[in-house]
Amino acid sequence: MQQLSLFPSTEEPRDSAAIAYLSSDALLQDGSAVSLEKQKRSDPLLLSIWLRLARTWFPARDDLANYELQWSPRRQKRTLASVSLERNRVFVARELNYPKHHHWLDPLLFHEMCHAYLRSEYHDRRFFEYERRHPGIKPFDIWIDEGGWLSAIRSDRAKRWHTEKARANSA
Ligand SMILES: [Zn+2]
């Protein structure tokens, strides 16, 4: 059976990362279980990327598995993503929820994961030392600098506007 993959950067099928994490890696070194209630409320795509990143880059930090990953409910202008260290929650701008942008989720979520790992919201030297280990960060920063994010916002607005219009016309 041939599978159509929209996300070449995500090598595993959507849910396998989450399942693997739940079944084998959810125990801490000392045997205590990690609460995974946050996962249940998460978007499956965002969660699977998040868990793969956690396993790859911070395998000793099982607590990173207990995060809620969501698309932002509102439109964004400046914020591509944000993390709440109190609520264990990450929001990603819904403007990036198009297949052509999905390969940026890897470096973007890695950025937020560095905040979660360090338990710090600051962009200090220590933060950048961790962040720059991911090979996708530099191309992602260039994409933003060169206006990629702005054009993502514009094309999302246009798309939503056309959808609204089509709905109005068919009503
Ligand atoms: Zn940040």
122 Cα: distance to centroid of ligand 1 (angstroms)? 7
Whether the per-residue pLDDT at 135 is higher than 80: the answer is: yes
> Whole-angstrom Cα distance, residue 18 to residue 85?
21
Domain residue limits, the chain = 16-170
For residues 136-165, average pLDDT: 93
For residues 41-66, average pLDDT: 94
87 Cα: distance to centroid of ligand 1 (angstroms)? 16
> Whole-angstrom Cα distance, residue 10 to residue 120?
27
Contact criterion met (CB below 8 Å) for 43 and 69: yes
Q: How confident is the model at residue 98 (pLDDT cuts 50, 70, 90)?
A: very high
Report the relative pairing of strands 68-71 and 89-92 from DSSP bridges: parallel
125 Cα: distance to centroid of ligand 1 (angstroms)? 12
Minimum mean pLDDT among 20-34, 103-117, 140-154: which range?
20-34
32 Cα: distance to centroid of ligand 1 (angstroms)? 30
What CATH superfamily is the domain 16-170? Metalloproteases ("zincins"), catalytic domain (3.30.2010.10)
Q: Say which residue, 137 or 38, is predicted with more confidence.
A: 137
